[in-house]
Amino acid sequence: MNFQTILALNLMALSALALALGLIQRREGTRSIALVNALVLAVGAYGLWRAPQEAGWLVALVFLPLVATPMALGALQSRYTRAGRLETAARCADLAAFFHPTAGMRLAAAYARAAAIDDPRERARAFAALAADAPPEQAAAIETRLLAERGDWEKALALAQNPENARQLAGYRFRALGETGRIEELMRDYARSADSTPLEQTAFSWLFVLAFGGRPRAVEELATKIMHFDPDTTAYWIAVAERHAGVAEPARATFERLALSLKETPSAIAARRQLAIDWTPHAPLSPRAQEIVEGVAARVASESARQARGWRLPAATLVFILVNSVMFVAEVAMGGSQDVSTLIRLGALWAPLVFSGETWRILTASFLHYGPLHFGLNMMMLALIGREIEYETGALRTLALYFGATLVSSLVVLAVMIIGAGYGLYVGASGAIFGLFGAVAALRIRDWLKHRASLDAFRATTLGVAMLVQIGADFLLPMSSLSAHLSGFGFGLLMGFFIRQKRTLGA
């Protein structure tokens, strides 16, 4: 399989992921995005069929400007918005609309430009004009924002609780419940809606649960390490959490400082409203509400640790990649990575030699690869999935999973050869990698059963598409084995349901 095929399959997989996520999130108004991703898949299928030598470039020609660029600009827009850099966020939205000139993207750009207006009255007029021309769903979101900016949380709550708007306005609904003092109802609503809250609103839902649940330290961790708020917004929400935790003096001092701002920022306006309301202490949370708050706090701690580790490779995963790399260099130096005699000398799995006593080949074959593409793809997948499982379960369990999956998959390959598939030559780390895939899949299923959250559904979908990429690409290579993939995955999946995690992913 050549570079063009690899490129086409990977870009098509990313579009398939976007389509699958859209189905899981059940989003409205994303028809154009779905059509663009479907176009990528169609162009890829046609290219692989009719022009395989140019398939990768054909897919990239559609994917990069119509999918990748708008997605990257959207991510930047969200980050700049949370950081308070609204003018920069608006420019990102304008560029995204240029590359994806649909009605929805143009409306999103106009919304970002309106949000960047400093004067509250001018901003309100701009939003009102947008709401008048927007489709019903977007109009409801804009109207809810206008009500929130005016501090009219009762009307905002009524609009957000409308069944037609309940999903897309989940974040506004959670905040409105907290702002109006319905803390217990907020906690119940959050728990009930975890599986339907849009992915992009998940962190905001955590924020409102923690702030109105009185957890200032968890709010600080969420605001600074995950959401990357600007300092004033961070300080505001910490103060809200302190107030609900009964720590009134520090909260009041923060609100007073923010209220003195010369700019009419959302934090300054909200701080003034906080100083004007009744500070009568709320009733203590019920045990169930406390449990929900503790669970969200644990989840935030876990996500913070996940982001803090970045792209660093942990020890065992790094060792596996280094050993595979050393063996691949040895293949090239001793005659070539696609030379059968070289692979046999270095330890490829060949049944007659195994049956004659060279049983060590059951393990050594997993450190050899047939050609640079086979090696590169496997190492990329090992880096991605190995770091995930090792950070969650530890180095020793990762070693056990890797070698256990290697042993099981190699034995299954031998059994298939004996049954009647013939004595072929087998190399590659696919069986071990699929064992790690299986273990992570089990952990993600456990997460889903525990939290029933859209974030876990997203991660499960990502994992599933990555597995399809591995099967679709690696199975097309010579000397790979579907039986090794499936048996390795089955072993890892079974072990993953029983393996103990090093870090708890929330309570």
Per-position b or e across 223-249, b if 16+ CB within 10 A of its CB = beebbebbebbbbbbbbbbbbbbeeee
* Catalytic-residue membership of 374: no
The residue ranges of DSSP E strands in 112-175, in sequence order, are: none
Per DSSP, the three-state class of 165 is coil
Q: Where are the alpha helices (DSSP H) in 309-357?
A: 315-333, 340-346, 351-355
Beta partners for residue 349, in sequence order: 426
Backbone torsion region of residue 258, taken as left when φ is above 0, otherwise alpha when ψ lies between -120 and 50, otherwise beta: alpha
Q: What's the maximum distance between 2 C-alpha atoms anywhere in the chain?
A: 86
Q: Which of 302, 337, 366, 430 is catalytic?
A: 430
Per DSSP, the three-state class of 185 is helix
Q: Which of 100, 483, 485, 487 is catalytic?
A: 485
324 vs 498: CA distance, rounded Å? 28
Using alpha carbons, select from 285, 264, 283, 282 the residue that is nearest to residue 273. Answer: 264
Angle at 255 between CA 221 and CA 201, to 5 degrees: 45
Please spell the DSSP secondary structure of 363-400, one letter per residue.
Answer: HHGGG--SSHHHHHHHHHHHHHHHHHHHHHH-HHHHHH
* Catalytic-residue membership of 366: no
Q: Which two tokens stand for residue 102?
A: 């649909």
351 vs 67: CA distance, rounded Å? 47
467 vs 433: CA distance, rounded Å? 10
CA dist list (Å): 25 to 326, 440, 458? 43, 22, 9
Helix 202-212 / helix 231-244 crossing angle, nearest 10 deg = 40
- Distance linking the first and last C-alpha atoms of the chain: 45
CA dist list (Å): 145 to 71, 138, 176, 269? 24, 11, 11, 14
Are 100 and 32 contacting, i.e. CB atoms less than 8 angstroms apart?
A: yes
Active site members:
430, 485
